[in-house]
Amino acid sequence: MTDTTDDIAQEISFQSYEDDCKMLGNLLLEVLQREVGAHMRDKVDRNRILAQSACNMRMAGIDDTAEKLEKQLISEMSDMSLAEALTLARAFSHYLNLMGIAEVHHREIVDLCRVRRQKKVATLTKSCDDIFNQLRQGGVSPDQLYHTVCNQEVEIVLTAHPTQINRRTLQYKHLRVSHLLDYRDRQDLTSEDRDMVIEDLVREITSIWQTDELRRHKPTPVDEARAGLNIVEQSLWKAVPRYLRCVSNALKKHTGKPLPLTCTPIRFGSWMGGDRDGNPNVTAKVTKDVSLLSRWMTIDLYIREVDSLNFELSMNKCSDSLSKLAHEILELESECDVHQSWNHHCYNRNQVKQQAAALPTQLPARADQPSCTECNVGQSHYPRSEFPRTGRPGKLSQQDEPESSMPKSPSQNSLRNAGLIAKRKMFAESQVGRSSFQKLLEPKPTQRSGIGPYRIVLGNIKDKLIKTQRRLELLLEDLPCDSDPLDFYQTSEQLLEPLIKCHESLHECGCGVLADGRLADLIRRVATFGMVLMKLDLRQESGRHAETLDAITEYLDMGTYSEWDEEKKLEFLIRELKGKRPLIPLSMEVASDVREVLDTFRMAAELGSDSLGAYVISMASNASDVLAVELLQKDARLAVSGEIGKPCPGGTLRVVPLFETVKDLRGAGSVIRKLLSVDWYRDHVIKNHNGHQEVMVGYSDSGKDAGRFTAAWELYKAQEDVVAACNEYDIKVTLFHGRGGSIGRGGGPTYLAIQSQPPGSVMGTLRTTEQGEMIQAKFGLPQIAVRQLEIYTTAVLLATLRPPQPPREQKWRNLMEEISKISCQNYRNVVYENPEFLTYFQEATPQGELGYLNIGSRPTRRKTSTGIGHLRAIPWVFAWTQTRFVLPAWLGVGAGLRGVCDKGHTEELQAMYKEWPFFQSTIDLIEMILGKADTPISKHYDEVLVSESRRHLGDELRMELLATEKLVLVVSGHEKLSANNRILRRLIESRLPYLNPMNLLQVEVLKRLRSDDDNKELRDTLLITINGIAAGMRNTG
């Protein structure tokens, strides 16, 4: 669990937490003794004790003794052999991960379960029950509360940003340890049961120790998408109905009305397989495959649920409408049975030979087997999906194969036997093939008249789901698929219709208790996940669209589009958008980069808004950036529609400008005003998107561009301006927040972030990204996911009905402007203007070595330049987090606060902190990250790794860090850093005896590696220290 998700860390039982940490540490030492011997185990423990003693001295203020102990620790590490260093790194890294597991286990959600077992009454803070009660007590009427909740639209978008450092195999093993800790807390266990739990924990820790911690190959975009789908399957699939029950029960308690069955306050989106910004590995083909794979998995999950319902709903009593539907199904099946004959399905051997060449070299593995298979990975209640093979790029490497839920490919000999494959295909798709297995288990239609009506309807649903799944498998293999639309499900409405009839029938017959159980859960899942689990956003950089239009206008002898001024671009784009003919000639030949952009729009036209979400334009800066995408989208839809002879499926995609740099944020409101002033565009938004404009603001690049404080203020003002622009044109707005996991990239507690947005910017709608390690931290366990979903709901509800306070007076805004200006100047002077800083950064941090981690499919830089400007925000923050300097989160803040305090405005800043939620949250987050910084550790990096001529830079920055700490405490009124979050401070302190040695060891390994950079064992040791420090800091980038 990351520290920035402490929305749910209100309380933690430290005694039991420390007991579990001690128990897990002792078990790890037991495993070490068996795996590496007593001598190495004792060395690991000795280093821990030395580090613990040094930490105790530091906290007691006895710095001289602490320094001596740290020097002794450094000396021991410098004398270690490479094998010993590797073992020490692995041991401390695993222990920090085990501490993280114990921390998650002991958070408030677990304590609440204990309270409830003791039959005591407890209400979770920030829960639906808690906030609904507060609002009712505060004067909100039942109707207003009910309608606001029912109309809420929150979408959580999971992205593939490379910040999840643990392999998925280890994530699953960590989940198993968590489940064992949970089981160990049961009150009904005997002493023998507890001993067996300890034995199981030893087995799990042994398995973890013997597993390679490092990814040996970069994941592909398809691998990343599978990881996202697995989070849905293992956690969100269970969490969503539980969360919706919580909302419904709280609504009924406080308004008298439950949440409507098909009402979904929260949905999910994804960038995994759709985010092509700076990632050449994400192609149109990859996006299409990921979308189809997501649909396939959705159907697979629904089939399992229908199987369970089929067993549960065995009753005969039903409503007239359901009885009629069941009889219609029986009659239809009887007619089909009469018209089918053996001769109709027999095939000529010669026909098979003729068709074999046109068939694929392999069928989706296990397509002819039942969809449910036994698998208890992660102790999931549901078996994991067996994905169909596509035989395409994106296949997992051999090392990572066990992590995937996909079956192994058939042997090469079987792949060559095209004739046999043809027979299998025709056999599997025919009723003959179906009868050979499935009909042995199911009664014939003539025998089904005695079966309960619910089972008949559910059996029909399952048949259509299976046919839908088979159709998707054919599409994944690029095979022709001319299925009758009546035989498969195209929309969630088609699936919901018979399920809702079953629900209504049960209520009519007095079986509401059954209707509101598993069946209601399935209906809510269908309403939330639809037919795709998560709609896939597409993202591309604005410059790629300009290059595409350059190719088109030059081919048509119209000049070079990118050289035109903004007015000429708009004139051209509006004229073409109003026209009815395609713009791009079919005969036009273009470069591969341009072709890929055009192929992406064509793919989007084929899939439509039923499968895809928004089209996000990164680095947007003008109205023409949005209209360019609208034109390319329109042209692709015209071309596809002309080819298939009917309108494209679904609607056009929402086009969402993403404003990232400080300059673009400052112009965001003007761009939206310009866009909405265009009659064609405004009419398009009203007609096709329900009068709704979506705008995305980026936290990462703005922070790297100008520093965290300036970025926070510019984001606040940009949101105000965008909301005002949309209000001027009577257009509703949804703000899409591109937040990272770390404070330096806009991370922080969800509740705090939403509650500190500008008034009026969260009016019942919100989109936000969750990425990397944050996805696992917030949604990896069902009970934690339920809590996070409640927090999203209640935070948005409060921001809508009780908006946060704006700055009390204009003077506060003026002070913010002054702090921001000084802060930005100071930050840029250090990072961009100082010619020595880039080299200092490269020497003092492991930034250059981060690329070996293989944690993401995209490159670490947008362009080949070595400057900081083209370095992505994630490695920029990641590198400074490793050295415990966390520079991007605080640099410039001290200078800005000092500049205002020196002019006598200290009291005004203290009043701003107490009364203005935005200012308070900004200071609190900076204070939290300062609490994680460690001056002696960062100084050690400089002393060993940085050239003597540049060490003064580090000394100056550390002086600035200490000054920033003092100024932040003056403004907040706290005596110590994180004084308002003692739980967090104590958790951080508990990790230091394991975290500090990891940093000291990393310095030693970096020193050796930089004089022997081809040494793979040294590189592995370094990467393991990076893993361990990330686990201890609870942040990557």
Q: Which residues are catalytic?
A: 161, 704
Query: Are 409 and 389 a contacting pair, CB within 8 Å?
Result: yes
Residue 840: C-alpha distances to residues 489, 643, 907 (Å): 59, 58, 38
C-alpha dihedral, 550 to 555 to 558 to 560, nearest 10°: 30
- What gap in Å lies between CA 285 and CA 1025, rounded to an integer? 37
CB atoms within 10 A of CB 752: 17
Helix (H) / strand (E) element for 267: namely strand 266-270
Question: From start to end of 53-148, where are the E strands?
Answer: none
The one-character DSSP state at 769 is E
Phi-psi region of 1034 (alpha: psi -120 to 50; beta: other; left: phi over 0): left
- Give the per-residue SS3 of 579-625: CCCCCCCCCCCCCHHHHHHHHHHHHHHHHCCCCEEEEEEECCCCHHH
DSSP 4-35: GGGGG-S---HHHHHHHHHHHHHHHHHHHHHH
- What gap in Å lies between CA 812 and CA 809, rounded to an integer? 6
Amino acid at 872: R
| 446 burial type by CB count under 10 A (0-12 exposed, 13-18 middle, 19+ buried) | exposed
CB atoms within 10 A of CB 644: 12
DSSP 476-493: HTT------GGGS--SHH
Q: What is the CA radius of gyration of the chain?
A: 30
b/e 904-936 (16+ beta carbons within 10 angstroms → b): ebeebbeebbeebbbbbbbbbbbbbbbbbbbeb
Residues in contact with 56: Cβ distance below 8 Å, sequence separation at least 6, in sequence order:
none
**Half-sphere exposure of 274 toward its Cβ, with a 13 Å CA cutoff?**
30
C-alpha dihedral, 69 to 84 to 175 to 199, nearest 10°: -100
Question: From start to end of 811-884, where are the E strands?
Answer: none
Query: Are 746 and 740 a contacting pair, CB within 8 Å?
Result: yes
- What gap in Å lies between CA 514 and CA 864, rounded to an integer? 61
Q: CA-based angle 150:151:152, to the nearest 5?
A: 95
Strand-pairing partners, residue 736, are: 696, 767
- What gap in Å lies between CA 515 and CA 508, rounded to an integer? 10
Task: Please report, in angstroms and rounded to a whole number, the separation of the first and last CA atoms in the chain.
Answer: 15
* Sign of CA pseudo-dihedral 126, 131, 134, 139: positive
Listed residue (43, 125, 25) closest to 83, CA to CA: 43
Tokens (6 digits) for 802: 């009780």
- Give the per-residue SS3 of 937-968: HHHHHHHHHCCHHHHHHHHHHHHHHHHHHHHH
Longest Cα–Cα distance in the chain = 95
- What gap in Å lies between CA 529 and CA 381, rounded to an integer? 19
Amino acid at 20: D
Residues in contact with 935: Cβ distance below 8 Å, sequence separation at least 6, in sequence order:
958, 961, 962
- Phi then psi dihedrals of residue 539, to 5 deg: -135, 135
